[in-house]
Structure 1
Amino acid sequence: MPESRPAPEPTKTEDGTDARPDTPARPGDTHPVDQMLPPLKLFSAGLQHVAAMYAGVVAPPLVVGIGVGLSTADIAFLMSASLFTSGIATLLQTLGFWKVGARLPFVNGVSFAGVAPMLAIAKAEGPDDALPVIYGAVIVAGVFGFLLAPFFCKLIRFFPPVVTGTVITLIGVSLLPVAFNWAQGGNAQAPDYGSLTYIGLATATLLITVVLRRVLTGFLKQISILLGLVAGTLLSLPLGVADFSAVGDADVIGLPTPFHFGAPQFAAAAIISMCIVMLVSMTESTADVLALGEIVERPADEKTLAAALRADGLGTALSPLFNGFAASAFAQNVGLVAITKVRSRFVVAAAGGILLLLGLCPLLASVVALIPQPVLGGVGIALFGTVAASGIQTLAGAALERGDNVLIVAISLGAGIIPIAAPDFYHAFPEGARIVLDSGISTGCVVAVLLNLAFNHLGRRTDPAPETLPAPAAHH
């Protein structure tokens, strides 16, 4: 029998939990992911998650609503519905039931991957039938994803560190342009887009957040992102950037009427399009689950991944009932977990509850919407950059001393950055292909998996010694 050694004394994170939860635990110990925090910490940390994801949740229904030609009131209804359905999907992931839900601090929201296909459907079907046809396709895509989950999750063995590290890095890099757009005002058609006021406000918010993170301790340090958002919003008031009009026009209670825009319709072309989007979302969710598992030190296995993908599918299938769209993982919240080190899934469950309340109370939703986009952009740079840094950290354990693995990372990153650096690169490709190719995360993931198969799975290696690439020449 191997010699038994006493477990090392655990180090503590800022929230007082064990920094190495995979260390054999004493009876009665609870993994940080499963720890219940006091109500105040639960609410404030959950609110921080809502603030980080809010813009991402309301942006797709806003774009689709404008594309379909909805009235301002209907667009507001669509946004509230998306908040409500995101809350349902988040609760499915964090609390779960049966074999549904990763039971990790995993936020689900409206997938932006479906926006372009939904606009294409709206253009083909016309304004009257657009939303019913979209909702019918989303329901079928959700059921498709739910049934496919136990088979899709078996691909986990093809996601070693060289693949997951690359994809996690791409998630962060792909999200950074979103933060840059927010920092410039969020609307490229606005005359003041990219003004010194907007960029200055974003920079000030980022600096305030960094200073708070540096000088505060304990719980206040954990919610430094939320405090930075509040400080940035207050700073925006004398600049006239915050818009209070939405608060004055909002209703106190607004129930999401089922099938408000009509009964779902099922069109083959729309269904195929949304099923492809579901595959893209499942690929991105797989990368996000694996990333989050590493960050919270509870690595996701095949069972966890299948449960997470089932929650994605079920959340997507249920969303159209309440006028929502396809649900998938929100990578920006993975970055928030990495920064704050608050790993309790009940914090994110609290965020799901807050999203439900926001969906039921348009007035509350409009208060959260007061946070100007430049303020979100400032903290977004830190959040999304942290995701990329987590990917680099994963790559550090990916045996990069082997030249094959370096090549896998190099080509995959290059392929994944194409849509970011050259957004029109694939303009001549068919629409179905562009759904995948225009997502740097999906493209990089597919390329990394295929190259890893070619170099590390197919055939038998004959070179036992690690192969290295020549070091790049230094430039002076």
Structure 2
Amino acid sequence: MADHPVDEKLPALKMATTGLQHVAAMYAGVVAPPLIVGAAIGLSATDLTFLTGACLFTAGLATFLQTLGVWKIGARLPFVNGVTFAGVAPMTAIVASTGDKADALPIIFGAVIVAGLLGFLAAPVFCKAVRFFPPVVTGTVITLIGISLLPVAFGWAQGPDPAAHDYGSPTNLGLAGGTLLIVLLLRRFTTGFVKQIAVLLGLVAGTLIAIPFGVTDFTPVADADVVGFPTPFHFGAPQFQLAAILSMCVVMVVSMTESTADMLALGEIVDRPADERTIAAGLRADTLGSALSPLFNGFMCSAFAQNIGLVAMTRIRSRYVVAAGGGFLVLMGLCPMAASLIAVVPRPVLGGAGVVLFGSVAASGIQTLVRAGLEKDNNVLIVAVSLAVGIVPITAPEFYHAFPVTARIVLDSGISTGCVAAVLLNLVFNHLGRGGRDAEDVTHPMETAQELTRAPARS
């Protein structure tokens, strides 16, 4: 009996090239979170390169865990794992509330470890409770993730240092706009593999254009070693603060919800529907990968939905292809020189690409909301109030200034507050009392998954 296409082992060359394609599709998404958090902390170019390499390395390990699996861990589907965008805003809030920036990463790592372990224990239960996270909740949260990250792209577009004389100069904004234009042109007029890596090509082109303007610094590459290893707890032993842990636990819930929808969608695409056991195993891989990631200085890991779109487009369903991509991620993480290449990209160029990258996250949330039954007044109210609560820290950063610092770690994250508001309002309006009688009308995650197989992938 022939193997299912998911378990098929392709020839080495084809497996390597298609694995690289998966890496290219998700590379920009993996390196963006460490860049954002590292910049917020004020890391040196050397430390920023180290953090980026660590995130690549841990993304590879998490992908191995998900695709190859061990015991009851891993969905064993062509499922790419990497640093989740959902954690970026809460992590930057933790950085902002930490007096000594040297403690920021240890606090973040401690919170991720606890959230990952709790998520691992909750996986078998969570896969049954997913009905409490319908599209009206997940769509709201994903939209807030994109909206929360867009100000970062706008800051990058102006330059690396707000105190510099050229911050927000026409040159910097021109480089950002030029990079954005290149990405848009590539997405519009190319097809296949080139179209899939448009953001990566835009970063390369923008960096080359920036050279004559003197804003490209190749020092990080020259100073980087060819071979290195992400030393465990390089930035210090993890620290455990309750407010930070609560904030990252909210992110874990969001991440597990999104991963569940992604597994359902991927199961439909590869003709191996994800049952309850598969979802529980996949969530264990996500959460265990997240708990182990800080050991090697990485962040919380989750599914990368753009790679699901790549599977749908290429029709190559082998999980071993994605595992090969995980191998390339590990190798890149073990080569500081490769990781340092992203440090060469000028901040305005990153800003131009970030508009597409982060805007696409918000757009994917809107796509989910379209399928959330917004013809119902209750759902419109849930979205309206949750978005308003989540946008408060973005539009009024000092809104919670009178609250204790520990509370602000959670309150200053629009994703955390918006998620909590959406879940509670969904319970009140769609599950309790009179609203409970309408609960059958709420779109089920499986229906969302079927829609995802027909909708454009997030990127």
Q: Note whether the superposition's TM-score is higher than 0.5.
A: yes
2:148 equivalent in structure 1: 174
3-state DSSP of counterpart to 1:98: coil
Q: Say which of 202, 205, 214 aligns to 1:240.
A: 214
In terms of mean alpha carbon deviation, does 371-380 or 405-414 score higher?
Answer: 371-380
For residues 338 and 415 of structure 2, the distance between their equivalents in structure 1, rounded to whole angstroms, comes to 33
Range with bigger deviation, 71-80 or 231-240: 71-80
Contact 2:49 2:339 in 1 (8 A): no
- Counterpart Cα distance in 2 of 1:441 and 1:381: 18
Partner residue of 1:353? 327
| Distance of aligned partners of 1:406 and 1:73 in 2 relative to their CA distance in 1, 3 Å threshold | closer
Distance in structure 2 (CA, Å) of the matches to 1:253 and 1:446: 43
Residue equivalent to 1:285: 255
- Residues 223-282 of structure 1 deviation map (CA, whole Å, 9 limit, x = unaligned): 3232222222221222222210111111111123345567x47x7xx2534532431221
- Which structure dedicates a bigger proportion of its chain to helix? 2
Q: 1:402 to 1:121 in 2, by over 3 A?
A: closer
CA contact 1:184–1:374 (8 Å) conserved in 2: yes
Partner residue in 2 for 1:390: 364
Unaligned 5+ runs, structure 2? 439-459
CA distance in 1, matches of 2:384, 2:10: 39
Query: How far, CA to CA, are the matches of 1:377 and 1:389 in structure 2?
Result: 18
- In structure 1, the residue matched to 2:65 is 92
Q: Is 1:257 aligned to residue 227 of structure 2?
A: no
- Kindly report which structure 2 residues correspond to 1:316-331, keeping only aligned pairs within 5 A, or say none: 316-322=290-296, 324-329=297-302
Q: Is the 8 A contact 1:164 1:290 kept in 2?
A: no
Aligned to 2:37: 60
In 2: Cα distance, 1:462 partner to 1:402 partner = 14
Equivalent position to 2:17, from 23, 40, 44: 40
1:183 is aligned to 2:153 = no
Deviation at 1:361, TM superposition (A): 1.4
SS class of match (2:434): coil
Contact 1:241 1:372 in 2 (8 A): yes
How many Å apart are 1:366 and its aligned residue? 1.2
Aligned residue-pair number: 426
Structure 1, gaps ≥5 residues long: 1-26, 465-476
Deviation at 1:221, TM superposition (A): 2.6
Could you state the TM-score of these two structures normalised by the residue count of structure 2? Answer: 0.77
Determine if contact 2:49/2:343 at 8 Å carries over to the other structure.
no
User: Residue 54 of structure 2 is aligned with which of 81, 85, 109?
Assistant: 81
Question: What's the offset of the Cα at 1:130?
Answer: 8.4
- For 2:182, the equivalent position in structure 1 comes to 208
Q: Name the stretch that deviates more: 417-426 or 293-302.
A: 293-302
Q: CA deviation at 1:401?
A: 1.9
SS of match in other structure, 1:460? helix
- Deviations 1:325-364, CA, capped at 9 Å, x for gaps: 442337xx54676699658666764554333223211111
Read off the aligned partner of 1:319 and give its amino acid letter: S
CA shift digits 1:63-89 (9 cap, x unpaired): 5574xxxx8756654553343233323
CA radius of gyration, larger in: 1
Partners of 1:401 and 1:134 lie apart in 2 by 40
Rounded Cα–Cα distance in structure 2 between residues aligned with 1:310 and 1:38: 26
Tell me: CA distance 1:136–1:441, structure 2 relative to 1, closer, same or farther (3 Å). Answer: closer
Q: Post-superposition shift, 1:98?
A: 3.2
Letter in 1 for 2:387: L
**Which segment drifts farther, 137-146 or 248-257?**
137-146
Match of 1:9 in 2: none
Q: Which amino acid aligns with 2:62?
A: A
SS of residue in 2 equivalent to 1:329: strand
Asked if the contact 2:116–2:252 (Cα under 8 Å) also holds between the matched residues in 1, the reply is no
Alpha-carbon distance in structure 2 between the residues aligned to 1:388 and 1:34: 36
Distance in 1, matches of 2:21 and 2:46, equals: 30
* Counterpart selection for 1:50 from 27, 46, 59: 27
Pairing 1:278-317 to 2, within 5 Å after superposition: 278-290=248-260, 292=262, 303=277, 305-317=279-291
TM-score if structure 1 supplies the norm length?
0.75
Over aligned residue pairs, what C-alpha RMSD do you find?
A: 3.9
Tell me which residue corresponds to 1:377: 351
| Structure having greater relative contact order (Cα 8 Å, sep ≥ 6) | 2
Code of the aligned partner of 1:289: S
Amino acid at match of 2:258: D
